[in-house]
A = this chain, B = another copy of it.
Amino acid sequence: VSTKRAPNRRGQGTRLRDEILEAARVLAEAKGEQAVTLRAVAREVGIAAPSIYAHFPDREAILSALVDEAFDELSAVVLGAMDAATGPVGRLRAACDSYVDFALRRPNRYQLAFAPRTANEMPRASATRAFELLVHAVRDCIDAGDTTSADAFGNATAIWVALHGYATMRSSRPAFPWPEGTATVDRIVEALAGLTAHALEPTRDESDGA
């Protein structure tokens, strides 16, 4: 009988939802995914635990939102690094370096993104977008003739799993006698992208000017 359009009451319509997400994010980054309990989140926000149900159907929904956030941030970081680099090989290196850097700087956030959730989870759009950045970087190297292989997707997959293994182990096994610096990441990128000897050189020109 009336307009029926009810605008959200107090300013709280989306504010509390954001506060819940932020608290969950802080907890996950500081102490890992298993620290994100409804009660802990509620404690952090300063509300009663059941209040969360007005904004998320269950605990899993919060985690899922955090996963998308994490993938989106990963994409943004990688994109930013690529934009600041020069040439196909330079952009591929920048993508891989920034990927590993993100994983090592925010280990809990990274692990959260890649932790298995449900048994047969379909790839989520946020994750696919991030992966596509890598495929694209590899394809640009191929197109520029900087590589000995032509399988962009296959190479990107190999590079991805290798970087993932490195980042995972590197942060969970600090006591392992890791090779210094970026040696391992460099080796992974160069070898698995199939970079040509020619492609490995010109990167020096940029900082040299000779």
Contacts and interface: CB of A to CB of B under 8 A. Distances in A.
A199 interface: no
Contact of A122 (B122, B175, B179): B175
A165 interface: yes
Interface string A8-21: 00000000000000
A120 B175 contact: yes
A161 B194 CA distance: 18
Interface string A184-201: 100110011010000000
A102 interface: no
Nearest to A183: B154
Interface residues of A, number: 36
A178 interface: yes
A174 B121 CA distance: 8
A166 B165 CA distance: 7
A48 interface: no
A55 interface: no
Interface string A135-177: 0000000000000000001110110111111101110111111
12 contacts: A114-B169, A121-B175, A123-B173, A123-B175, A153-B179, A154-B184, A154-B187, A158-B187, A161-B165, A162-B162, A191-B191, A191-B192
